Structure 1
Amino acid sequence: MVPPIVKRYLLAVNRYKWVIPAGVIVGLGAGGVVAVQPEPPLSYIGESILVSNAPPITFSTIGSQVRQPVEAFTAETLLTNEVIEGIAKEVDIQPDVLRKGTTIKVQAGGDAKDPAAQKAQVNIAYKDGDQKRAGDVISQLSRRLVEQSRLNNTARLRSIIGAIEQRLPKVKQELSDAERTLEQYDRVEGPQLFAAQDGNIIKSISGSQQQQQQLRLQLDGINAQISSIQAKLGLDPNQAYVSSALSADPIIASLRAQLQQIESQTSVLLKDLRPEHPQVVTLRKQQQAYEEEIRKRATEVIGGNGQVTPFIANVRQDSSLDPARQQLANTLVNLQTQKESLEQQIVSTIRSEQELRQQFSSIPNKQLERTRLEDQVKLKKNLYDQMQQKLVDARAAEVEIVSSLGLSQSPTVSPTGIKAPKSIPITLAVGAIVGLVVGAGVIFLLDTLEGTIYTAEDLREAIRQRDVVILGILPLVKSFIPNDSPILVNPDSPYAEYYERFRSNLRLTESKNLRVIMMISTIENEGKTVTAYNLAIASARAGKRTLLIEADLRSSSAAHQVNLTPDPDSQLEPLRYFGQISDCIRLAPDVENLYVVPSPGPQPTAASLLESSELRRLLEDARGRFDLVILDSPPLSRCNDALILEPFTDGMVLVTRPGVTQQSLLEEAIDQLTETASLRLLGAVTNGVEVQLPRTAEEALMNDAKQWLFNSEPENVVMSDRN
């Protein structure tokens, strides 16, 4: 079986037969032009090889590192503008010509551990028509490239020295700053770190705790003495201080004596006189004055800006201590003072202990900080030492710098471009073959750009890619009788089984209860009308009352194919024609159960007729009276009549044909029918496909042709392929 792409290409070759001869003629012409061209002039090529070069003795590390390896060279880095201009000036040649004729290839070496491995090398070639100039240029190139490599290595080394010298002062300053920071830290935090290392802080904390314990013992003894004296004296330390101070003041003692004398006189007078007596009143006023004086004096003695007023509420009582009680009061005041002093000492020692503990807890962080600063100094010092060492090594390498390239062999000049004379027959044959290949490619390109699908396989693939069901593969109806109709009126036709299979597939679709279907196509000549008639004939011969309505009102009727003559008045009055349902439906005389409504076309107002109530009543009546109604509609690219009739149908079948269907129109039509929810596309059929009939069927066709020849004896017999 021929592959689809080969079949498609053979069809394209059949359509564009002129392309291949034209390509061969053009190829022969081009070959002839090439054959008559004169031979190119003789040229010379100078060649030289540069290999890796190394100094005989090396004392420095940078000297070997700075040397650029041969593998790192490129044609751009070797063939600089300075080299080109210098050589061009010496040999008197244009720089552009020199650059164009020079070729430099860098070849990497093999494994360095293998002595037999090939070394890395640079191949230099220069092509020129002058032999002497070619030798001069290749010699100059070899010498200048070796010198250019040496200059490059020297420049790289000087660049390294300059970078180290530029960076070294900053590194030295960073080292000095790090050392100064460490020194300042030791000056500030060093004593504490040393004290922590010697254990002085721990000793100080222990001594503070012991001192607190001794002070608390002393404080407990003083508290016991204070409690004992308070129990005996009946006064707290503050009251004892006030009473002792008041009792020791002579003025208060004198005022208190005078006040007692006045009180005695008042008591005597009150025995004989009333309280309102002037003498009694005078004595009371004197008593109040002395009491006021005692209070003022008590305030002066005690002091405190009146803050001790609660302690001198009863001055006469508080200022009348006997010597023994006064001594106890003084002792109580002294003990209270000692107590407050001890409490203050305890608070101070606790604070000191807390400070020592805080210092001790911060010691690890300070030690870590000092270690970090010390590491920074070490790192800076190592970097500074390394840079000093690198600088010394780089300066020592200045005397060791040599070129990375060395001349492997002396430059040679040899002629090139010597070719055998051209063979005109071979040149013409090559041109013809090239023209043939180009012509074949042009045919393939034209076939691709045409857009028509020529093979049944490509057509089916295009339909499947749009997820549309293929309901049948319909054959190309062949006949050896001229002007024979492709409509299968003959019940013994070998092509009838394909339409019967199409009818069965149509019944097995998702919409199984199909009463009215419409045949559609994208363009004309795809065999839509023939497919509709043959499907109707297959349905009628299966015992189904079948009606075929020619709904293409823009074309003439094809009813004569089944021996029906259209009504001549239908074209003049189409509405009246469709309104008389019993008259417009005609029974086909040669096919049982087949009824046809011939088209009254062509009509200038086809769309309005399709939307008329008469045609709607015809479709409704046909749905109830027939088992299957088939509508033959105009192509979609021609008009929208099929979309007008679609609401009255149960679905549409798209008819395609290889060699006629356009891929772009097919894809556009399928997308429109499938993306619109109200439109129902049942599937598609591929019409006009060449099929292999059985031998008996072929013989039957030949017998029919012989019978026709015997009866009609035509002058010319032509095989008819129609669909």
Structure 2
Amino acid sequence: MTPPIVKRYLIAFEKYKWIGLASFTLVVAGSTVMAIQPEPPASYVANAALTYTSPPVFFSVTGTEIQQQGQVLSQEVLLSDQIVETVAAQVNVKPKQIGQNVAISVPEAPKPGEESGGSSLIELKYKDSNEKRAQETVQALMEAMVKLSAEINTRRLKAIIKKIDERLPQTKRELQLAEKRLEKYDRTEGPALLAAENGSLLTAITSSQNQQRQIQLTLSGIDAQIRSLQAKLGLNVNQAYVSSALSADPIIANLRSQIYQVESQMEVLTKQGARPEYPMMVQLQRQKSAYEQLLQQRAFEVVGGGGTAAPLPGTVTGIRSQSNLDPARQQLANQLVALQTQQETLQQQLVSLAREEMQLRQEYALIPNKQLERSRLEQEVGLKKAIYDKMQAKLTDAQTAEAETVSSLSIARPPIVVADVKPPKSVPTTLGVGGFLGLIVGGGVIFLLGSLEGTFKTKEDIRNSLKQRDVNLLGELPLMPVENLSPDELPVMLSADSPYLEYYEKFRSNLRRLGGKDLKVILIASVSSDEGKTVSAYNLGIAFARAGKRTLIIETDLRSPSCSPSLKVTIEPEANLEPLRYYGSLSECIRLVPDVENLYIVPSPGPVRQPAAILESSELRHLIEDARERYDSVIIDTNPLSASNDALLIQPYSDGIVLVTRPHYTQENMLGEAIDGLVESELGLVGGIINGADIIVPLPQPVEPVSSTGGESQIEDESQAEVSAGTRQN
């Protein structure tokens, strides 16, 4: 059996053999031109070498570094355009010729930390047809490279000095700013840091704590004295202050005395039987009221602040009761007020000391941060100063290196010219190699063009693609002859003795076996046109009918004319004018196939306008539902998936979809997208078939097999070329 790759190549060869032949001819022609070319003139190769050098003693580090950098020169630098153009002007040669004929070998630079153990020679070769010119060119190249090395070293040194001069003022300013920040910080935070260092801050905190404890002890003694005096007097501090102040005022004492006299007189008159309305009683009552008012006014004056500093009694009676202290009790009241004042003073001192201690503690807690900040500023100053000092030293060292800067290259070996003798070309060998390469190129072009078509070339390719996507292969159908058929007819198995019937019978049995008993309405679809969808639907219907099944074929491709004349069935000429009425009348649309028993067909009235609306109509749905009840099998032929969504509109009425493929016509990417879409949407993909497979079918009479399902060319057998069928394909 021929491998699939050989089949694909043979198919591509039949289609693109002239392109392959043209490629072969071009390669052979090129090799022939090369073979008949005359021998080139004798050439001379000038060999020379440069080496890395350095002065015996270096007095500067910068000079050493530049000299070491100068010993790492690349091929691009040594053969720069400047050198090539300069040498070309000297020897009167075009720069392009020098660039093409010169070759240089530069030793690899050692890695950091490694010593150079290889050769330090730079090999230089130049090829020319003139011996003297070759030697002069190499000599001029070496001198230019030595001069270029010196210029590079000088430019590097000047770049270092220029860069240092540019950055040195900025570095100096940064150092001065850092020193000013440190000096300012020492002025503001220095005393606190000094106090933390010599311990005076901790001493102040301890002293404040001792003073607070002493004041607290004093307050405890004063509290005890205050409680004792309050117990003896029966008065609190405010009451004692008011009573002492009122008792010590002579005016209040005089007013109290007068009030007592008036009250005594009123009491005598009351005992004598005088009534309150008695004029004398009224006069005494007025005097008493006047004295009481004066007493109350004087009490407010004596206490001061309108009673806010120390509250006064609300009535005159209360004022009189608190202004009767004797000298001993008055002395105790004054002592109580003095103790209260001393207590408040000490409490205020205690609050001040606690606040001062809190401030000292906060300042002491910030000492580590201040120390860190000062350390940071100190480090910044040190860093800036170190950078400034290094730049100063580097500048001095670079200025010293100016006297040491020389070229890093010197001539190690002068040019030596040798003749470059080449053996003569072999014409047969050149032609043989050209013919071999022509075969490879021509065959590769043919294979590449065949691969770029994007279609399946063999049935094995389609079979593998279906297997990779877990799609059942329902059958492989061979090509059918199309002789004696008109362009509008399709090859169908109207004869019961057709040798192709067994392949469609196998297709039918696999469909029943894999689809199950519920598979009654079968939708035949394809990815694109010319894949044999309609032929497969017709012949599958014939296979069902030959098996004794009452079968109906429904053409739903309303965008193309009907193919029912292939089954010797005609359609009404005016059916496309009113397609809904056509599908609504079963007697008009269902036709009996005359040559096949049990086979019926509903021809398409197409092409019609708005086919999608007709496919979604209730008339077509009722037709399919009625056909499901009346017939054993219903086969629906529809439009290709790539052309429209007609197949997806009909799918809900069907029980399963069969996908038709065909070598040379089915696109690989379109088939994959169609299968993935049907599987992901769960649209009931039963399987696929391979139509037009290269299967040799024994015919009653030898007939050259050509395309069975349309008018496109196709390879039928491994050894046969494509033959145009000339028929319409659906």
Common fold: TM-score over 0.5:
yes
**What letter matches 1:689 in structure 2?**
A
Deviation at 1:150, TM superposition (A): 1.5
Q: Which residue of 2 aligns with 1:193?
A: 196
Aligned counterpart, 2:386: 385
Indicate conservation of the 8 Å contact 1:58/1:64, yes or no: yes
Residue 485 of structure 2 corresponds to which residue in structure 1? none
Displacement of 1:447 in angstroms is 2.4
**TM-score under structure 2 normalisation?**
0.69
| 1-structure distance, mates of 2:646, 2:351 | 110
Letter of the 2:13 counterpart? V
The percent identity for this pair of structures is 27
Q: Deviations over 1:159-180 (max 9, x none)?
A: 5633662343134214413431
Partner residue in 2 for 1:563: none
Could you say if the C-alpha distance between residues 274 and 115 of structure 1 is closer, same or farther in structure 2, counting changes exceeding 3 Å?
closer
Relative to 1, partners in 2 of residues 1:22 and 1:336: Cα closer, same or farther, differing over 3 Å? closer
Q: Which residue of 2 aligns with 1:7?
A: 7
- On the 8 A contact 2:153/2:407 being kept in 1, the answer is yes
Would you say how many aligned residue pairs link Structure 1 and Structure 2? 672
Task: Give a deviation string over 1:448-500, Cα, whole Å, max 9, x none.
Answer: 4556544221233455577653211234679xxxxxx995968696x765444
For residues 556-575 of structure 1, the C-alpha deviation after alignment (integer angstroms, 9 at most, x for no partner) is 8567xxxxxx69xx689999
Q: Say if 1:44 and 1:414, in contact at 8 Å, map to a contact too.
A: yes
Q: Does 1:336 align with 2:320?
A: no
The residue aligned with 1:685 is 689
Q: 1:317 to 1:465 in 2, by over 3 A?
A: closer
Q: Hey, what's the Cα distance between the residues in 2 that align with 1:77 and 1:336?
A: 104
Return the alpha-carbon distance in structure 2 between the equivalents of residues 296 and 279 of structure 1: 26
For the residues of structure 2 that align with 1:158 and 1:112, how far apart are their CA atoms? 25
- Assess, with a 3 A threshold, how the Cα gap between structure 1 residues 605 and 146 changes in structure 2: closer, same or farther: closer
Change beyond 3 A, Cα 1:168–1:126: farther
Q: Are 1:101 and 1:126, in contact at CA under 8 Å, matched by a contact in 2?
A: yes
Contact 1:54–1:402 under 8 Å retained in 2: no
Deviation at 1:363, TM superposition (A): 1.1
Residue 141 to residue 398, structure 1, CA distance change in 2 (3 Å): same
Alignment of 1:215-614 (within 5 A): 215-216=218-219, 218-220=221-223, 222-223=225-226, 226-227=229-230, 230=233, 236-247=239-250, 310=312, 313=316, 325-326=326-327, 328-330=329-331, 332-360=333-361, 362-385=363-386, 387-389=388-390, 391-393=392-394, 395-396=396-397, 398-400=399-401, 402=405, 405-407=408-410, 409-412=412-415, 414=417, 419-450=422-453, 453-461=456-464, 468-475=471-478, 498-513=503-518, 523=529, 526=532, 529=535, 532-533=538-539, 536=542, 540=546, 544=548, 586=594, 594=597
What CA distance in whole angstroms lies between the structure 1 residues aligned with 2:348 and 2:3? 110
| 1:95-174 correspondence runs (5 A) | 106-109=106-109, 117-119=117-119, 130-131=133-134, 133-159=136-162, 161-162=164-165, 165-174=168-177
C-alpha deviation, 1:193, in angstroms: 1.8
Provide the residue aligned with 1:28 in structure 2: 28
> Counterpart amino acid of 1:2?
T
> Which residue does the alignment assign to 2:487?
none
Name the CA shift for 1:40/1:166 in 2 (closer, same or farther; >3 Å). farther
The 1:683/1:203 distance shift into structure 2, 3 A limit, reads closer
Q: CA deviation at 1:344?
A: 0.8
> Partners of 1:473 and 1:615 in 2: how far apart?
32
CA contact (8 A) 1:88 1:95 kept: yes
Deviation at 1:422, TM superposition (A): 3.8
Query: Which string of whole-angstrom CA distances, capped at 9 and with x for unpartnered residues, describes residues 313-343 of structure 1?
Result: 4699689979xx3255245314522441244
Distance 1:161 1:637, change over 3 A: closer
Aligned residue identity for 2:312: P
SS of equivalent residue, structure 2 residue 689: strand
After TM superposition, give the deviation of residue 138 of structure 1 in Å: 1.0
**Structure 2: unaligned runs, 5 residues or longer:** 482-490, 576-581, 709-730
Q: CA, structure 1 residues 131+190, in 2 after alignment: closer, same or farther (shift >3 Å)?
A: closer
Distance, in Å, in 2 between the alignment partners of 1:679 and 1:59 is: 89
Per the TM alignment, residue 28 of structure 1 is displaced from its structure 2 partner at its CA by 3.3
Report the AA paired with residue 392 of structure 1.
Answer: A
Q: Is the Cα contact below 8 Å between 1:532 and 1:548 reproduced in 2?
A: no
Q: Check conservation: 2:561, 2:607, Cα contact below 8 A.
A: yes
SS in 2 for 1:410: strand
Q: Secondary structure at the match of 2:118?
A: coil
Single out whichever of 76-85 and 11-20 deviates more from structure 2.
76-85
CA distance in 1, matches of 2:533, 2:261: 159
Asked whether the equivalents of residues 673 and 681 of structure 1 are also in contact (C-alpha less than 8 Å), the reply is no
Distance change in 2, residues 1:120/1:228 (3 Å)? same
Given that residues 189 and 370 in structure 2 are in contact (C-alpha distance below 8 angstroms), is that contact kept between their aligned partners in structure 1? no
Q: Which is higher, the Rg of structure 1 or of structure 2?
A: 1
Tell whether 2:187 aligns with 1:184. Answer: yes
Judged with a 3 Å threshold, the aligned counterparts in structure 2 of structure 1 residues 231 and 416 are, in CA distance, closer, same or farther, namely: same
Secondary structure of the 1:399 match is helix
Separation in 2, partners of 1:719, 1:15: 23
Q: Could you list the per-position Cα deviations for residues 383-419 of structure 1 after superposition, in whole angstroms to 9, with x for gaps in the alignment?
A: 4135414532552354355468333623526468764
After TM superposition, the structure 1 = structure 2 runs for residues 663-678 of structure 1, keeping only pairs within 5 Å, are 663=667, 667=671, 674=678
Identify if the C-alpha distance between structure 1 residues 283 and 309 changes in structure 2 by more than 3 Å, giving closer, same or farther: farther
Structure 1 stretch 639-648 or stretch 107-116: which is displaced more?
639-648
Aligned equivalents of 2:282, 2:646: Cα separation in 1: 143
- Give the Å deviation of 1:148: 3.0
